[in-house]
Structure 1
Amino acid sequence: MSEPLRRYLTDLVAVAREVLGEELCGVYAAGSVGLAAYQPGRSDVDVALVCAGALDRAVARELVARLRHEVLPCPARGLELVVYRREVAASGTPEPGFEVELNTGAEMDFRVSCGPAERPAADGLFWYGLDRSILHQSGQALLGPPAADVFADLARDDLHQLIVAALRWWLDRPVPPGDVPAPGAEDAVLGACRSWLRLHRGVWLPKMAAGRRLLAGGGPLVDAATIDLVEQSIAARTGGTPPIGSRARAFQRRVLADLTATPPA
């Protein structure tokens, strides 16, 4: 972890403690930080706060005001912060169940949602259950008990449904017409690799590691076209040319077809 990121997370924890007081049960680094795959200049900072009970709206507003980028500058593309009640974190539910969500950063649109009802359904409500599953496996405790003791994993059927919903959401994203590189397509490809591996191999991996593991393991999805696409997607994460959108979509459809035709046992 870089020193600027370490300082930022320390300051974020301090703010959370000041605002939430004894209601704060824990602070956890999620996403790329939790998976030890943070890329300066590319990754977001994903953080989950766990509180004892429902969050008062005035407290939520103060938390947002003090953590927004203009007040506490984020050294990454942006901060994606989600606050959960302790009972939700421990429930293993596939429902969103969050108290507050904050997106803020120099390269991120500012958004606040106080509960799932305020989040546009078109933006996806499957993220939260998936994120809590990743937190159960790999969350990094910045304050409080180990993440595995706080966040329950999802039942296999629920996890399968959320992963399928996520794949369909990615397939609905627009891509440039024609045979031209599609920025962001690399994340869709590697995210599909990660989803397939979670259901078939039982482990969440960072995107690039998931791509490499899929190729190394062989299996029904791996052929010459897949090898070329996944290798290009990995290279794009470090400055290479993104894959063509139509090729990315074709691979995503293969993954979706595999996971819907025969759900992993």
Structure 2
Amino acid sequence: MDSDVRRYLADLVEVARSVLGDNLVGAYAAGSVGLGAYQPGRSDVDVALLCADPLPTDAKRDLVAGLRHEALPCPARGLELVTYRRAVAASGTPEPGFEVELNTGARMPFRATYAPGDRPAADGHFWYALDRSILHEHGHALLGPPAAEVFADLAPADLRRLLIDALSWWLALPTPPGAEPAPGAEDAVLGACRSLVRVRHGRWLAKTDAGRRLLTEGHPGAPVIERSIAARLGGPPPSGPQARAFQRQVLDAISGGA
């Protein structure tokens, strides 16, 4: 783990503890940090906090105020933080179920959401349960018991449905016209690779590792996967149409049983 990120996470836990007190029962690094794939200058810092009891509105707002980038500068592109009640994390529910969500950073639009109902449906409600599934397998405990003990995995049918929802959401986004390289297209391709590997093999891998896994299996989308992996190291990404065609292939595979 990057030393700046390590210090930042320690400071984040202290701020959360000062706001939530004994109600804070766990803190977990998720995303690229949890998966051991953090890339300085590119990756976000993803964190899940666990509380024992529902958070009062004042505590939610105080947590946001203490952790937003202006109060605690994030060394990465930004912080994506979600707080759950312990009972929700242990339930395996496919619902969002969060107490408060915060996105903040020097290169990330600020957003604070204080209840799942405030999250627009158009922004996607599938993220949270999928993230908790990744936490179940790869969460790095900063405070509290091991992640596998507190985050339940999804039922297979719920997992497949949410992955279909996620791929459908990505495909519904506007795409730039033409065949020019599309910034961010590599993440869309490799995210689809990760979804397919999870369905086929029952394991969450980092995006690049999932792409490599499909390459070893002779996936027919190999040229797009290879270009996407190279793009994460500075090369040109695939075009928008190439990325979308690959995502449709993965969506068809997952919808049809992979």
TM-score of the superposed pair, with normalisation by structure 1? 0.96
Aligned partners of 1:100, 1:75: CA distance in 2, in Å?
A: 22
For 2:249, the equivalent position in structure 1 comes to 254
Extract unaligned runs of 5+ from structure 2: none
Amino acid at match of 1:90: A
Aligned partners of 1:96, 1:48: CA distance in 2, in Å?
A: 13
- Residue 228 of structure 1 and its aligned partner are, at CA, apart by 1.1
Aligned partners of 1:128, 1:187: CA distance in 2, in Å?
A: 18
- 1:201 is the counterpart of 2:201: yes
- 1:145 is the counterpart of 2:140: no
Aligned pairs for 1:1-265 within 5 A: 1-218=1-218, 222-223=219-220, 226-261=221-256, 263=257
Aligned partners of 1:160, 1:3: CA distance in 2, in Å?
A: 36
Extract unaligned runs of 5+ from structure 1: none
- Residue 199 of structure 1 and its aligned partner are, at CA, apart by 0.6
Aligned partners of 1:156, 1:95: CA distance in 2, in Å?
A: 15
Amino acid at match of 1:195: S
- Residue 125 of structure 1 and its aligned partner are, at CA, apart by 0.3
- Residue 175 of structure 1 and its aligned partner are, at CA, apart by 1.6
Give the secondary-structure state (helix, strand or coil) at the position aligned to 1:145: coil
Amino acid at match of 1:179: A
Aligned partners of 1:171, 1:64: CA distance in 2, in Å?
A: 32
Aligned partners of 1:259, 1:6: CA distance in 2, in Å?
A: 36
Aligned partners of 1:119, 1:246: CA distance in 2, in Å?
A: 29
Aligned partners of 1:174, 1:243: CA distance in 2, in Å?
A: 16
> What per-residue deviation string (whole Å, max 9, x for no partner) do you get for residues 112-133 of structure 1?
0011111111110000000000
Amino acid at match of 1:200: R
Q: Percent identity?
A: 67
Give the secondary-structure state (helix, strand or coil) at the position aligned to 1:90: helix
Aligned partners of 1:192, 1:59: CA distance in 2, in Å?
A: 37
Aligned partners of 1:175, 1:240: CA distance in 2, in Å?
A: 20
Structure 1 segments, 4+ long, off by >6 Å, are none
Give the secondary-structure state (helix, strand or coil) at the position aligned to 1:183: coil
Amino acid at match of 2:50: V
- Residue 254 of structure 1 and its aligned partner are, at CA, apart by 0.8
Amino acid at match of 2:206: P
Aligned partners of 1:97, 1:115: CA distance in 2, in Å?
A: 8
- Residue 2 of structure 1 and its aligned partner are, at CA, apart by 1.4
- Residue 106 of structure 1 and its aligned partner are, at CA, apart by 0.2
Give the secondary-structure state (helix, strand or coil) at the position aligned to 2:136: helix
- Residue 259 of structure 1 and its aligned partner are, at CA, apart by 1.2
